[in-house]
Amino acid sequence: MALIEAARAVLAPRRLSPVVEVAGVGAALRSTSGQVYRGVCIDAASGIGFCAEHAAVAAMITAGESRIASMVAVDWDGTVLQPCGRCRELVVQIDPGNGATRVILPGGVRLMADLLPDHWLLGRKFQAV
């Protein structure tokens, strides 16, 4: 799949300092406009790093978008990963419509809403601010 390859293309694991490693996980997401955004993780001491999915989401938001059609994350060796709970939560909080995001997983594809059963935001109606 093209999205998996886009995530693999940003993998470049390396140590930036004694306490920071980067790009051991890559992520790619396709917005509903069709644009692909990518990001890498930053693993840092004191818990101040962030996941690759967060970096990709930040790139998307910087470009003025918030709705995600599909997304994937890959490990340092290119293996597809599940998004962690923090990443799932971010994706839905930036736009509750992202419950319909197709998440590429090791065993197939599932909707984000299926990965967040009984989520407190999904199913609610919100007005844009």
Residues catalogued as catalytic: 53
Q: Is 29 helix (H, G, I), strand (E, B) or coil?
A: strand
Tell me how crowded residue 18 is: count the other CB atoms within 10 A of its CB: 7
Distance CA 14, CA 30 (A): 26
Task: Tell me phi and psi for residue 12, to 5 degrees.
Answer: -160, 65
Question: Is 96 within 8 Å of 124 (Cβ atoms)?
Answer: yes
Task: Tell me phi and psi for residue 54, to 5 degrees.
Answer: -65, -40
